[in-house]
Amino acid sequence: MPVLSPLFPSSKLTALALAGAALVFSGCQKTPKQEAKEGLTELKIWVMPNTPKPQEDMDSLLTGFRNGHPGVKVTVSVLDWSSAWTKITTASIAGDGPDVVQLGTTWCSSLTDLGALLPIDDVAGEVDASSVFLSNTWEAIKPRASEHVTSLPWFLDVRPMYYRSDVFAKAKVDPKAIENWSDYVAALEKIKAAKIKHNGETVAPVGFPGKNDWNVVHNFAPWIWGTGGDFLDPTGTKCVLDSKESMEGIAFFLGLVRKGLNPKTNLEKNTAQISSEFDAGRLASLFETTTKNIYLNLPPEQGGIGNSPVARNYGVMVPPAGPKHRTVFMGGSQLAIFKSTAQPELAKELLKYLTVDKDQQLGYARVSGFLPALKTAFDDPWFTQDEKRAVFKELVQFGRIYPSVPYWGEMETSILTKGLGNLFDIAAEVNGPYSEAAVKKEVDIMVREINSVIDQHFQNHPEHRALMESRVASVPAE
C-alpha cells in the first residue's frame, strides 16, 4: 500500500480536486469563442499606470460603463510608460492595437500623422468639445497637420509650486506676496540668506533637476513662455528658440543655478530624487505635478509621507507671473480610438464615458491626483472647498500644452532634452566660466537641428505646411 502524504490523501481525491479546479477556472476564463457564443463583445483599452493601483482603479472607474453595456466585456491592459510608446506605435503599424488607447499629449500628433487614429469629429461635435473642455486643451485634440479631431482630453498634468510654509515663515517670506519673477527671486534670496537648517542640513531655496531627467523640456518651458518666447513660431513651422524673448527666459532659469538658488548638486539628480529632497526637508520649494499633493497626504503605510514634518508644513501656490505671461507647463493624457477597431461606435461610447462624464472625471482625479479636463468638474466642492485644490482650479487656466506638430516627439526627445540639458552644464560652469555666447551657441545648434527636422518633414509632407500655416496656435488665457 503506497504511503500518501497528507497533501495528497488519495489519487481519487486528487483527481476530483483537479477536475473541480478545472471547472472553476474554465468558469472564470472564457475563451474568445465562448464569449462570442454568449454574445459578448470585447472592447480593449490600453492605459498607463496613472494611479497607484492602475488595474483596480480602472476597473472601478469602468463599473458604470459595464453596467450600462451588459453585452460588452471591457479588457484593461496597463502598459508601462517606458515601453508604451514603442508598443503603441508598433501596434499602429501592425494594425492590431486596442480599441481605445491612452496617449501622452504630445503623442497624438505623431500617431495621427502615422494614420493610426480614427477621426472623431462626430464625437467632438456631439459632446460640444470646444465648450465642455478647458480651452487650453484644444491644442492637443486636433493636431496641427490634420483636419480632424483624433482624441479627447482625459486628464491634465499641471505643475503648481509647493513650498514649505514653516521655512518661508522663518525666512520672513510671505508666499502670497510672490506675484512675479522679481518677487520670486527676492523670496529665494531671503531663504538662501536665512540659512535655515532642517535636521542639521541647510534648506536650499528651490530644487530643479538637471539633464539626467525626463522633465528637462517641461522645466524650461514655463520660463521661456513667461518672457514671451517659444519653441516654435505660431504656425509651428519654424523654431524660434533663439529669439530675444526665448533667450531671456532661458537666461532667467539658468540664473537660478548661477545665483545658487537652485544648488548645482541638484543638477546631478532627476525628478524623483529632487522630489525626495523636498520630502526630506532639504528644499524650501519645488515645482511638481498635482499628484504630489496626494502623496503628501497619504499615510506611510500606503506609501505616502502624510503627517511627516514636511507634510504638516507645506502649501501650494500658482507659480509667479513672468514679464509677459503667467504660464505653466501642462501635459497629461488624451484618449483616442485606433483606426483598426472593430467596434468604433462602442469605442466612442467608452471615450465619452471617460471624458465627458463629470463623475468619472472627478473619480479618476481623486485616485490619480491629476486634474480633470472637463470644465464642470472644477465646480465640484472637491475643488472649491479644499484650500490646496482651489489653487489647482486657478492654476489650470495658466496651463499650456506644447504645439501638436507631427515632429514634436523627435524635437523633444532627442534635440531639446539634449540641448537644454547641455545648458545646465554651462550654468554649472563645469567646462569653464558661464558665458552668454556659450548659451547662444548651444541654442543655435538646437534651432538648426529642429529646423532641419521640420524641413525634412515638409519634404515628405508638403501638404502639411499650408495646413499648418493656415492655423494659428491657440493662446492660453492670461
Partner 1 sequence: MKKLFHTLRKHRVAYLFLLPTLLGMLVLQILPLAQGLYLGFLRSRKDKLLDYLAAPWAGLENYRNVLLNPDSPIRSGLWDALRNTIQYTIAVTIGTLIVGLLAALLVNREFRGRSVARTLMLFPWIVPTYVVGLLWGFMWQKEVGFVNIVLVDWLHLLNFKPTWLIGPNTIWAIIIPTVWRQWPFSMLMLLAGLQNIPRDVYEAAHIDGASPWQSFRHITWPLLRPVWAILLLHGLIFNVYSFNIVIMMFGNGAGFPGKNGDLLMTNIFRNSFQMWDFGSGAAMSSLLMLGMVTVIFVWYRAFKDSLSAR
> Measured from the CB of residue 43, what is the shortest distance to partner 1 in angstroms?
26
Q: Which is nearer to partner 1, 320 or 421 (CB)?
A: 421
Closest to 97 measured CA to CA, from 55, 152, 30, 45 = 45
* Three cell numbers, residue 212: 539626467
The set of cell numbers assigned to 184 is: 520670486
Residue 8: CB minimum distance to partner 1, A: 38
Q: Is the dihedral of CA 264, 267, 270, 271 positive or negative?
A: positive
DSSP state of 415: I
CB of 273 to partner 1, least distance (A): 9
- CA-CA distance, 162 to 157, in Å (whole number)? 15
Specify the residue, 136 or 271, whose C-beta has the smaller distance to partner 1. Answer: 271
Task: Classify 471 as helix, strand or coil.
Answer: coil
Residues 6 or more apart whose CB falls under 8 angstroms from that of 288 comprise: 159, 160, 162, 271, 275, 278
8 Å CB contact between 199 and 279: no
In this complex, which beta carbon is closest to partner 1, that of residue 192 or of residue 352?
A: 192
Q: Which three cell numbers stand for residue 195?
A: 540659512
Closer to partner 1 by CB, 145 or 373: give it: 145
Amino acid at 425: D
Query: Which DSSP string do the residues of 330-374 spell out, in sequence order?
Result: EEEEEEEEBTT-S-HHHHHHHHHHHHT-HHHHHHHHHHH-PEESB
Q: How distant, in Å, are the alpha carbons of 22, 179, 221 from that of 349? A: 36, 44, 35
Q: Minimal distance in Å, beta carbon 386 to partner 1? A: 32
| Least distance from partner 1 to the Cβ atom of residue 221, Å | 15
The nearest distance, CB 172 to partner 1, in angstroms, is 27
Could you tell me the smallest distance in angstroms from the CB atom of residue 223 to partner 1?
A: 18
Whole-number minimum distance, CB 410 to partner 1, in Å? 5
Query: Under DSSP, is residue 174 helix (H, G, I), strand (E, B) or coil?
Result: coil
What is the Cα–Cα distance from 143 to 405, expressed in whole angstroms? 6
Helix, strand, coil percentages (3-state) for the chain, rounded to 5, are: 55, 15, 35
* Residue nearer to partner 1 on the CB measure, 403 or 409: 409
Task: Tell me how far apart the alpha carbons of residues 259 and 282 are, in angstroms, rounded to a whole number.
Answer: 18
Residue type, 236: G
The amino acid at residue 455 is D
Query: For residues 165 and 284, is the Cβ–Cβ distance under 8 A?
Result: no
When the beta carbons of 262 and 361 are compared against partner 1, the nearer one is 262
Of residues 7 and 94, the one with the C-beta less far from partner 1 = 94
Q: Which three three-digit cell numbers place residue 288?
A: 511638481
By C-beta, is 133 or 278 nearer to partner 1? Answer: 278
Rounded to whole angstroms, the Cα distance separating 138 from 54 reads 26
Nearer to partner 1, 86 or 384 (CB): 86
- Nearest Cα to Cα of residue 62 among 75, 48, 52, 81: 75
Q: Please, which residue, 5 or 199, has the CB nearer to partner 1?
A: 199
Report d(CA 249, CA 226) in Å as an integer: 7
Residue 427's closest CA among 252, 227, 206, 300? 252
* Residues that bind partner 1 in the complex, under the rule CB under 8 A: 93, 110, 113-114, 210-216, 264-265, 267-271, 409-410, 413-415, 417-418, 421-422, 424-425, 428, 430-431, 445, 448-453, 456, 460-461
Closest separation between CB of residue 81 and partner 1, Å?
12
Element housing 243 (H / E): none
Q: Could you give the CA distance from residue 423 to residue 1 in angstroms, rounded to a whole number?
A: 81
Give the residue with the Cβ less far from partner 1, 137 or 266: 266
User: 34 vs 452, which CB is nearer to partner 1?
Assistant: 452
